């Protein structure tokens, strides 16, 4: 499965909302496959999630410059490399450790239209985590 880096943040916060029914169904399918053990390869550009996005045309996002900035920031924070294969469940844990707990989410993608919802979801995850500790 091909995934662009910033989508790791999106997948971790997915609650069934999205740009269209086709998009949300595709996102749900991808997350399920990855959680069931399918590995992912990080790509520098359009990925399997983008294929169902109404804002992607010919593999180019309408906000390509912005999402490339997100991708680069995620690679820097999580120490990831394009073209490398990863286990999704390991990356989910890294997102929690290096993005959520360090409050880097707003630095990485604070200008995303979904940032408020994502921030709330991560805050709820953090509260649950600290209750366990």
Give the integer Cα–Cα distance in Å for 106 and 112: 9
Q: Find out whether 109 and 9 touch, Cβ atoms under 8 Å.
A: yes
- CA separation for the pair 89, 70 (Å, rounded): 20
Q: Where are the domains of the chain?
A: 2-132
For residues 52 and 22, is the Cβ–Cβ distance under 8 A?
yes
B/e letters for 23-59, b = 16+ CB within 10 Å, e = fewer, are bbebbeebbeebeeeeebebbeebbbbbebbeebeee
Answer whether residue 3 shows pLDDT above 90. Answer: yes
Q: pLDDT by residue (tens digit) across 117-131?
A: 988 888 887 777 666
Look up residue 25 and give its two tokens.
């169904």
pLDDT value at residue 130 = 60
The beta strands (E) that lie in the chain are given as: 2-3, 40-42, 56-57, 60-61, 85-86
Task: Give pLDDT tens digits for 60-111.
Answer: 999 999 999 999 999 999 999 999 999 999 998 888 888 877 778 889 999 9
Q: What does the pLDDT look like over 16-65, one tens digit per residue? A: 988 899 999 999 999 999 999 999 999 999 999 999 998 998 889 999 99
Distance from C-alpha of 121 to C-alpha of 100, rounded to nearest angstrom = 10
The reported pTM is 0.90
């Amino acid at each position: 499965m091909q995934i662009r880096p910033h989508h790791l943040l999106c997948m971790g916060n997915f609650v069934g909302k999205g740009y269209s029914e086709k998009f949300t169904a595709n996102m749900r399918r991808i997350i399920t496959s990855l959680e069931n053990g399918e590995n992912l390869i990080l790509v520098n550009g359009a990925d399997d999630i983008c294929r169902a996005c109404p804002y992607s045309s010919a593999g180019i996002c309408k906000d390509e410059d912005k999402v490339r900035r997100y991708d680069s920031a995620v690679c820097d924070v999580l120490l990831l490399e394009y073209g490398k294969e990863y286990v999704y469940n390991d990356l989910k844990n890294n997102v929690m450790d290096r993005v959520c707990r360090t409050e880097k989410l707003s630095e990485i993608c604070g200008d995303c239209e979904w940032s408020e919802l994502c921030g709330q979801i991560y805050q709820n995850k953090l509260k649950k985590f600290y209750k366990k500790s």
